[in-house]
Amino acid sequence: MEKNWHSGSGEKISLDEMLSKLDEYVLDGERIFIGTDSQIKGDICIFATAICLHDKHGKKYSRYFFHKSREKTSSFKVLRLRIMKEVQNSIDISMSLLERYPEADIEVHVDIGRTSKSPTRIFVDSITGWLKGAGLDCKIKPDSWASSAVADWHTK
């Protein structure tokens, strides 16, 4: 989890400050939504992972935190490798949070879909199985807003 985290507005936030906000959120029994997306720009692949807080009733929480990383594109021109890296990033964050909050309700959002037009449809069964095997709930398009909208915004 030791990464350069930012609030949704783009301001840097310390890990301690972010965790204190998560402490309150998890204590209230709310679900944490985690998603990662990526985008290739020239010889760099930008990965963005978001931790989203949104309560069931929409009254108290609506915020998110994100971090970005940049890696050489050569490894990630293959769609399968890029999607697997996105999922691994989300799993890593989820497991770090579960170490701190063993009872946390975490849902991982993956930017893949089942439609015939989606090139990622061939990965749906293996990736959802991987996440379920790790003990994590998951959502795919069109329900994967933490990756498809929030994280995606920060890959631009």
- pLDDT at 73 (0 to 100): 87
In angstroms, the CA 22 to CA 18 distance is 6
Higher pLDDT, 58 or 129: 129
For residue range 76-91, what is the model confidence (pLDDT) as tens digits? 999 999 999 999 999 9
pTM: 0.94
Average pLDDT, the chain: 94
**Residue 145 banded pLDDT, cuts 50, 70, 90:** very high
In angstroms, the CA 105 to CA 53 distance is 11
Sequence-separated (6 or more) residues with CB below 8 Å from residue 124: 112, 113, 114, 140
Segments making up each domain of the chain, as ranges: 5-153
CATH no., domain 5-153: 3.30.420
